[in-house]
Structure 1
Amino acid sequence: MNFDRRSLLRGLGAAGATAMIPGMATATDGDPASGRFLIDLREVDRADVPDEVEVVHDISEIDLLAARGDPAAVPGVDSTTPDVTVYQDGAGAVPENAGPVAEVDRDGAAGGDPAWDAGLTNNELQWDKRAQRLGDLSDRPDERRTVHDTTTGEGARVAVIDSGVSDAHPDLADAVNADLSANFTTDPYDFRPNGAGDHGTHVAGTVAATNATGDGVLGTAPDAEVVSLRVFSGVAGATGDVIAAIVDAANKGCDVANLSLGYPVPYVDPEEFPWLLSVKEAYERAAAHARKRGMLVVNSAGNDGIDMDAEGVLSLPTEVEGVFGVSATGPIGYLWDDRKQREDLALKRLEDPTSSPAFYTNYGSAVDLSAAGGDADLDAAADGADGWYYDLVLSTVVSPDGDGGVVPGYGWKAGTSMAAPQVSGAVALVRSLRPDAGVAEVESLLRETATDGEPGGEQYHGAGHLDLRSLVKAAR
């Protein structure tokens, strides 16, 4: 069923949507053109690595080197393994809609989107934040406390290991720590997207957008600090870059590292692709190092719609011990369906509730929690229904301005990539209240305060669905 849906999405052109299909790796043993591989320093002494082998990343904290050159030059049968391609989890199985790329004050947005034309604010389109009663999202009917009445994440630090974060967006300008941010790819640019797309910018907005102009979007932890660690460029990312970024984030004192990436179908069967086991072991080392440093690693569960407990399936890095896996949920019918009243912003008259599993999400025992990642009525999308993409997640985006800069805006994406930063932002809220809490304590709070995982049950929701109000109340 899910593969048929992805086939449908390849032809979507309605409502300005584009179907983003990631390119598959050119070889099952990594990218031979790059000559990249990992060196296991538990199998070979560093002194025995020849000078002609270029060390791309020194990750000796976990006894690994990411290198380039001839792996045969390194002594030891088990000392090297291919450094294979890794993909963003936000592209592929789900549509996205950038909407009109508006100036931040939204001058010029009118005429391009039904909700904006009707005068709805960006905050009113953030069903994911409204469902969590995050803050003052323009329609507080009473004086009940919101999450942000307790904490806004001040003092917490979140690493976004992704395609880069644009601090040219005003909703992120005060959130990004440029001094700690870094580029882990082999291109010559900095931590900003630089041709890698706005996936990481969208993720960062979900975590920590500040709604700087009052007409933007609001992140879960708007006073948290974002460290942008870029692992994608104009070409596919590499596992060694991601591993190095995780270790670096932990060393820089981050409270949580958000990963929205992985190895999609068909790269899930260890018998067919034995390098998956080596990749798993490398991630396990990185996760263990992070936990010792007090940093939780959060990853998106993946968008292949597969059972991760099935035989012949290993979904990485979600199934790595020590990684907190997040599945995606989303509504059907938020604001766009003619049967709903546009004035009804209480999320009560939806075809599917906001906690309903998204059609694309992976599921299984590796899921620790579910969170808002967006869903889609694919029939409505194919028919070009106005506003079908309101069920996706609205966040910060940028587009090239033609002169080497970017134009900031707001756009919709969906995927487990969009669900993971909901949890990473939640970790920032907890750490702002309990800065000395250990990783296990933070994980326990997330699980124990989650709402019942319905519909779908444990295999789709793990311990349950993220509940920020209960979480901050328990942490406080």
Structure 2
Amino acid sequence: MTANNRRHFLKTAGVSLGALALGPSTTGADSTQRFVVDKRGLQTERGMEVVHDLSPVDLLVVKASEDALDDAGVAYAPDGRYSPRLPDTVSSRSRVEYPPEGETLFEYQWDKQDQRIPETHETTRGEGTRVAIIDSGIGAEHPDLRHAVNAELSRNFTEDSLGAPGPYGGAHGTHVAGSVAASDRTDSGVIGSAPGTELVDLRVFSEVSSSGFSAWMGDVLAAIVYSAELGADAANLSLGWTFRFRDDGWGQFWGKAMQRTTTYANRNGTVLTHACGNWGGTLQFDEDQRDSSETAGGLTVSATGPIGFEWGDEGLEQPPYAPAFYTNYGTNAVDLGAPGGNADLDAIGTDEPWYYDYVLNTVAVPEFDDETGEYLGATYGYDWYAGTSMAAPQVAGAVALVKSAKPRLDANQAKNALERVAEVPDEYERKYYGSGYLDTYRAVTN
């Protein structure tokens, strides 16, 4: 392909492949001090330091010895800590500087074009809804996000003291947030699916954690419960972890803990949108292994993307709904396919702007003092990312739009509204899509 001339405000040096998009390597039972405890039957908390009290789902996250837990006579499992994994290809960065006043980046947003987002906004922009972003933190001072983030409701679930909102765990959460709610009423920049929705930053990743760039599973459970308590219409989890802890020491306890948590979210009207992971593997399970988010109204999302968007003279080699090269799949594991970005692997490393097939949106890149770990601030801009991490917020934004247009829908009805209009493309297999490919416009206007 022959590259088009790039605009003067693009700085190119590779591209990021969706940081925090997790693969199958986790350390689910590596903790000897943190545990998730079933409160049912608990007689005493002696010897336990409570990290999170999840009373609505009868769970505790605690620091304790196993002897103390055994003495309490309750069921428990080690809290799991997991680290990010990128799709299996290069991971360098391309960043877009702020465009000149009056110049937008929408022409590079194939995902929002494909989903007919501007036309959808003629019906609703997501007003009156709320979306929780369970991630690395949102750069709320980004010019495209200042309107959207509720700082008062935002929470830090990590063990650091940096608070929320803020991009303290990396740029990933800001990209996810922008995909949901970046403003469509600025003179420049990008747009999100539901710019009228309210965002809540629920941070579970910490850049300055003593154990490195990772998150506790118990923190994620706590963030889900908090999302439900807030009455969030959607809670996005671009984590790719939900399928793995069964094999990492949680067993039946993990299934029950997740079932309680996701059911609570569903009953409170919150649709959980999950990234299905980026290692290009099958998530084909037996029925008794099906992720509990399915039975509790959640949506697990695979990634799609074009090949050849705005680069080359031959046009698209693959359409926006083509399965991405890295996406996980599974007929009874994936609920929807959605735009997450794709790549021509032969073009990577060439002068071609192959990264145009990724998803462009907001980023806030944090800076820390190398010696003290002190947060120094963030650089705001835009970047192309790819991953199922980028696909899940497309669905979260669609949930916000549907709930805004039809506010009486409960979580299951909102989920069904998306699945009902989704279709599996004729030229691809159902295992990549579940119910089908996301169609935001039809879901809102039908």
Q: TM-score range by the shorter chain?
A: 0.7 to 0.9
Say whether the 8 Å CA contact 2:45–2:72 is kept in structure 1.
no
Aligned counterparts of 1:69 and 1:101: Cα–Cα separation in 2 = 47
Correspondence for 2:313: 339
- Distance 1:292-1:396 versus aligned 2 partners, 3 A rule: same
Alignment counterpart, residue 369 of structure 1, candidates 336, 345, 352: 336
Matched letter for residue 122 of structure 1: L
Which of 72, 80, 83 in structure 2 is aligned with 1:84? 80
Contact 2:274 2:298 survives alignment (8 Å): yes
SS of the aligned residue for 1:380 comes to coil
* TM-score for both structures, normalised by structure 1: 0.81
Q: Is the 8 A contact 2:277 2:388 kept in 1?
A: yes
- Following TM superposition, by how much is the alpha carbon of 1:436 offset from its aligned partner in structure 2, in angstroms? 1.7
1:406 aligns with 2:378: yes
Residue aligning to 1:257: 235
Where structure 1 has 5 or more consecutive residues not aligned to the other structure, the ranges are 1-13, 108-118, 136-145, 341-348
**Corresponding position: 1:128 with 2:111:** yes
| CA spacing shift, 1:428–1:27, aligned 2, 3 Å | closer
Q: Using the alignment, how far apart are the partners of 2:24 and 2:420 within structure 1?
A: 38
- Determine which of 200, 220, 223 is the counterpart of 1:245: 223
Residues 400 and 325 of structure 1: CA distance in aligned 2, closer, same or farther (over 3 Å): closer
Partner of 2:279: 304
Is this contact kept in 2: 1:16–1:97, CA < 8 A?
Answer: yes
2:14 aligns with one of 13, 16, 35 = 16
Does residue 54 of the first structure (1) align with residue 28 of the second (2)?
A: no
Partner Cα distance (2:290, 2:358) in 1:
24
> What is the percent sequence identity of the aligned residues?
42
Q: Which residue of 2 aligns with 1:469?
A: 441
The amino acid that maps onto 1:462 is G
Structure-2 change in CA distance of 1:126 and 1:194 (3 Å)? closer
Aligned length: 420
Query: What corresponds to 1:429 in structure 2?
Result: 401
Question: Contact 2:419/2:435 (CA < 8 Å) preserved in 1?
Answer: yes
1:200 equivalent in alignment to 2:173: yes
Report the CA distance between 1:294 and its aligned residue: 1.0
Residue in structure 2 matched with residue 37 of structure 1 by the alignment: 35
Question: Which 10-residue stretch deviates more, 63-72 or 174-183?
Answer: 63-72
- Of 395-404 and 326-335, deviating more is 395-404
TM-score when normalising by structure 2: 0.87
The code of the aligned residue for 1:134 comes to I
Deviation at 1:322, TM superposition (A): 3.6
Change (3 A) 1:27 1:288: closer
- Give the SS at the match of 2:436: coil
Alpha-carbon contact 1:303-1:361 (below 8 Å) kept: yes
User: Does the 8 Å contact 2:27/2:81 carry over to 1?
Assistant: no
Provide the secondary structure at the position in 2 that maps to 1:48: coil
Q: Residue deviations 1:317-345, cap 9 Å, x none?
A: 76675421111100011112x224xxxxx
Please state how far the C-alpha of 1:76 moved relative to its aligned partner.
Answer: 5.2
1:173 to 146, 151, 162: 146
Out of 171, 174, 183, the position equivalent to 2:156 is: 183
Distance 2:248 2:367 in 1: 41
Contact 2:266–2:296 (Cα < 8 Å) also in 1: no
Distance 1:466 1:183 in 2: 31
Alpha-carbon distance in structure 2 between the residues aligned to 1:152 and 1:18: 29
Matched with 1:440 is 412
Superposed displacement of residue 284, structure 1 = 1.2
Q: Who is 1:3 aligned against? A: none
In the alignment, residue 355 of structure 2 is paired with which amino acid? Y
Instruction: Tell whether the 8 Å contact from 1:94 to 1:415 is kept in structure 2 after alignment.
Output: no
Counterpart of 2:197 in structure 1: which amino acid? A
Distance 1:95 1:204, change over 3 A: farther
Q: Is the contact made by 2:170 and 2:366 (CA closer than 8 Å) also made in structure 1?
A: no
Cα deviation, 1:217-236, whole Å, max 9, x if unaligned, reads 10000010001100111231
Distance, in Å, in 2 between the alignment partners of 1:320 and 1:305 is: 24
Give a deviation string over 1:159-191, Cα, whole Å, max 9, x none.
Answer: 011111110101111100111110011111112
Alignment correspondent of 1:352: 318
- CA RMSD of the aligned region, Å? 2.8
> Which moves more between the two structures, 326-335 or 305-314?
305-314
Instruction: Please tell me the residue identity of whatever aligns with 1:359.
Output: F
